[in-house]
Structure 1
Amino acid sequence: MTGLTIDHGGAIAVDPDALRDVARRIEGVASRYDDARSALLRAQRVILDTPGFSAQVDTVELWSSGQRLARLHSDCQDTATSALLMADTYEYVELRAEAEMLSLTDPSTAQRLMRSADRLAASDDRIAGLAEELETQWRAERFEGLIGNIVTPDIYDDAFRIAALVGITSGFGKVHPGETLKGTTDRVSVTPVKTSSPSGAPSGIAGALKRMPVTAGAQIAVEKYSFADGSTKYVAYLKGTQSVGWSGKEPWDSESNFELYTEHDSASYQATLEALDAAGAQPGDEVDVVAHSQSGMIAAHLGMESVYDVQMQITAGSPVEPTLDDDQTIIQLVHTDDPVPGFRGGGSPEGTGSADSMVITTQGNPLDSPEDWLVDAHHLDTYIETAEEADASSDPRVDAAGEFWRDLDTAEVIERTEYQAQRVG
């Protein structure tokens, strides 16, 4: 692993409100520097006005200290002003992107958002230009690192280019509001194959990815958390593609991949719903999701269109990015040498989800070796290694994710069931 990056995703590096809070704190520091400079100048006047006092004090150094404090005050003010400008720019990008997404499903809200964006742009002539520069830079760099670092450049680089091109031109890489799965799919049977009682919730992102089903043939694990106040929460752990076949008994196959990516119902999605129902999840219950590969698409639609309240989802190597509300958190793990996330089309300039949402990016297999040919960077174990590195970082969003699992750990009872699903008929 090398070059781990943790950000909000898209062109927006920092949540606008968080950036404004930083600017206010910097303004507070600037005020302290100004107060210190004023106190120093008053002391200098007293020294100069007192006969014989200046001979005991280096007034030149005192004056120089005052000048340094003035420069620090000015630098802080400039930094705070720049931070506020960037916060307005990020918000302008968010407002316009949200308005564009809602233009078909909610025109009145889209118009209101555009008016807010226009008012923001009118407040400073620089905002619109900076926003355009941000989006241009994001478009130019969103696939940076995807190609040119593999020992089989011709074939492997073509795979990356094709994935990125499909994601950009098809529009399927970003799941927009109002886009729901269409049609019907094959019937499935879902059978519990193992039950257990974990001693606690996972600890960290890596711990969550390690809770994938381990029983042979199982693709789904559902953990039910029961709390002292009578409330319950669920966490679904969904494996990635299990077969490259088409329309066989295995629901997590190439057919489901194609159906989900093109926004059609799939056997794997239906199997997930049936497993949640079998585990006792009711409409409105909190159901959080940990998903690898194909199941990242299942997580997206669970979070956007299902009857469940999906507050947290962790995806590793997902080919899509959902559009989540600002009270939903998503942690996306992306390897730059994994072609599958290329189907996301680079994501979206506004990012997605709450301020605690993050995209964790690195090169899964930094050493040029034959392992790259085997797409090792897409394997779950490789993503777990990346998650372990992220867990060890000091990023505040990672700390917030840890708080989510600590809350689950207060449950009085945890029941875990692993399920095997098959197509029938």
Structure 2
Amino acid sequence: MGDDVDIRSGGAIAVDTETLRLVAARLDGIGCRLDEAAAQLSRAENLVFSTLSRAPLAFHMTAGMMSGMSGKLTDDAVICRGQVAATREMADVYELVDLRSRQEMLAIDDARASMRLQERIEALTAANPQLVKLADQVVADWEGRRFDGLSSQSWDLVLSSVLMGISIGGLANKAVTDLADRHAGIVPQGTALSGPKPPVVVAEVARSTPSGPPKSTVQTLKRLPTGSDAQVRVETYTFADGTRHHKVYIAGTQSLWAGSVEPWDMGSNWDGYARRNFASFEATRQALEMAGVRPDEPLDVVGYSQGGIVATYLAVGDEYNVGEITLIGSPTVPGLRDDQTLMQLAHTADPVAALAGGGWAGTTGSSDSIIVTREGDKGDLINFDSPLDPHMMEQYLTTAGQLDASSDPRAAAIQQRRAQLSEAVSVTSTDYKAKRPF
């Protein structure tokens, strides 16, 4: 079981290509300095050898040490140059994977932009034909690992041994992976929901004045409303110049039945995943309208579970000016513009998050976007944890805490962006509860 978080730039991409190229440039500089140091030692060695005939014994020992050190520095410089070449090649591989993924995103609604990426793809592959094979391997390795956490849950391993290799969890996991492999969980920019909008009734149920924005990822998750009291929370930050910034927090599934009075039910899950208009999305839209969120005003969205599907479609649509998207255990992942930032928390043992199929192979959103994963299975054989335990908010709060404690600069960048909301002169928070009118 993995307890530590893994922070990546994309599904198959560990770090962004510019960071890799910066590392390569610094390694190149180190290699040059090693060469210079070896050359200086070699000159000093020659000078010492030229005077050995009349030098004391200690000079003989010094010359021998210099010779060994000079050779070691030369060897290190060769190793360093090899690392420079390998790092630059990996940067090119990651860029090729990313370009292909972005082409797939753009092909839905912007074919011209998609084709504009082809020139860079051809330039990369012409310079190094091996990149195609390497990029294919990176994606294949990532695809092969996407569902590892599902089959390693402790409860499933016990059942498998008791039932002579027949794994109930394995059968469920097969259903999840089959759905994910249809790619319904990755939603390109501009994707529209089909069908009529379901009828919902939305009412304001509470209002408060927070002291400021959440100061951490843990605090962000804790501001998500509980479905028993509300399903949507809208915070409005007003600044001294009169401009406003909004954040909407969207709850997860509240009913495992379909067709109930509760809009956050399994019916909405299936409709949203199948790209049909769904009740919880319509309820969230109405809540934003009631909160007075204007289309031109900045809006950040936070969605857990089914709330992640709602957040996804808010992010890929053009109705609102969505800038930052936080997804927790979401079965869908949006294809974002370069001016949008994604923070995705997903447990590899979470069957709901697995419906996203690992998300996009490349990066999505701005360079500050991050994908944060952890296995999320406590491995508690005594209490025989449910297979849905990795999807529970308690587990995601643990992951959020580890992210907050990390030194990753991308995590810090997102937190600095959120801290800018502290400059607001007033903050209001409004909760909304929705139901179907029957």
* TM-score bracket, shorter-length normalisation: over 0.9
Q: Contact between 1:215 and 1:418, CA under 8 Å: does it hold in 2?
A: no
SS at match of 2:371: strand
Decide which of 331, 335, 345 is 1:323's aligned counterpart: 335
Q: Contact between 2:190 and 2:318, CA under 8 Å: does it hold in 1?
A: no
Q: Matches of residues 24-173 of structure 1 in structure 2 within 5 Å?
A: 24-50=25-51, 52-53=54-55, 55-57=57-59, 58-151=62-155, 152-153=159-160, 154-169=167-182, 171-173=183-185
- Counterpart amino acid of 2:102? E
Decide which of 282, 291, 302 is 1:279's aligned counterpart: 291
1:198-254 CA deviation, whole Å, 9 max, x = no partner? Answer: 112112211100111258430111111112233211111111001122222211111
Q: Contact between 1:222 and 1:236, CA under 8 Å: does it hold in 2?
A: yes
1:318 Cα deviation (Å)?
0.5
When residues 212 and 44 of structure 1 are mapped into structure 2, their CA distance, relative to the original with a 3 A threshold, is same
Distance 2:263 2:228 in 1: 15
- Residue of structure 1 equivalent to 2:163: none
1:365 Cα deviation (Å)?
2.6
1:395 Cα deviation (Å)?
1.8
Q: Contact between 2:153 and 2:377, CA under 8 Å: does it hold in 1?
A: no
- Residue of structure 2 equivalent to 1:410: 423
Q: Contact between 1:286 and 1:310, CA under 8 Å: does it hold in 2?
A: yes
Distance 1:396 1:371 in 2: 38
When residues 194 and 202 of structure 1 are mapped into structure 2, their CA distance, relative to the original with a 3 A threshold, is same
When residues 150 and 56 of structure 1 are mapped into structure 2, their CA distance, relative to the original with a 3 A threshold, is closer
SS at match of 1:225: strand
- Residue of structure 2 equivalent to 1:313: 325
SS at match of 1:311: strand
Alignment of 1:396 with 2:400, yes or no, is no
Q: Contact between 2:337 and 2:364, CA under 8 Å: does it hold in 1?
A: yes
1:21 Cα deviation (Å)?
1.2
TM-score computed with the length of structure 2 as normaliser: 0.92
Distance 1:230 1:45 in 2: 74
Distance 2:360 2:125 in 1: 21
CA RMSD of aligned residues (A): 1.9
TM-score computed with the length of structure 1 as normaliser: 0.94
Alignment of 1:197 with 2:243, yes or no, is no
- Residue of structure 2 equivalent to 1:292: 304
- Counterpart amino acid of 2:36? D
When residues 352 and 142 of structure 1 are mapped into structure 2, their CA distance, relative to the original with a 3 A threshold, is same
- Residue of structure 2 equivalent to 1:18: 19
- Residue of structure 2 equivalent to 1:255: 267
- Counterpart amino acid of 1:112? R
When residues 149 and 381 of structure 1 are mapped into structure 2, their CA distance, relative to the original with a 3 A threshold, is closer
Distance 1:315 1:103 in 2: 24
1:359-404 CA deviation, whole Å, 9 max, x = no partner? Answer: 2211223214345326222111221111112211222222122212
1:419 Cα deviation (Å)?
1.0
SS at match of 1:172: coil
Q: Contact between 1:283 and 1:307, CA under 8 Å: does it hold in 2?
A: yes
- Counterpart amino acid of 2:427? I
Distance 1:100 1:218 in 2: 37
1:336-363 CA deviation, whole Å, 9 max, x = no partner? Answer: 2221112112222214222222222112
1:126 Cα deviation (Å)?
1.8
SS at match of 2:147: coil
When residues 403 and 183 of structure 1 are mapped into structure 2, their CA distance, relative to the original with a 3 A threshold, is same
- Counterpart amino acid of 2:27? I
1:165 Cα deviation (Å)?
0.9
When residues 350 and 220 of structure 1 are mapped into structure 2, their CA distance, relative to the original with a 3 A threshold, is same
- Counterpart amino acid of 2:14? A
Distance 1:28 1:206 in 2: 40
Distance 1:390 1:50 in 2: 61
When residues 142 and 214 of structure 1 are mapped into structure 2, their CA distance, relative to the original with a 3 A threshold, is closer
- Counterpart amino acid of 2:274? T
Structure 2 residue runs of 5 or longer lacking an equivalent are 161-166
- Residue of structure 1 equivalent to 2:218: 206
Distance 1:264 1:403 in 2: 36
Q: Which deviates the most, 3-12 or 160-169?
A: 3-12
1:258 Cα deviation (Å)?
1.1
- Counterpart amino acid of 1:367? G
When residues 362 and 42 of structure 1 are mapped into structure 2, their CA distance, relative to the original with a 3 A threshold, is same
Q: Contact between 1:3 and 1:362, CA under 8 Å: does it hold in 2?
A: yes
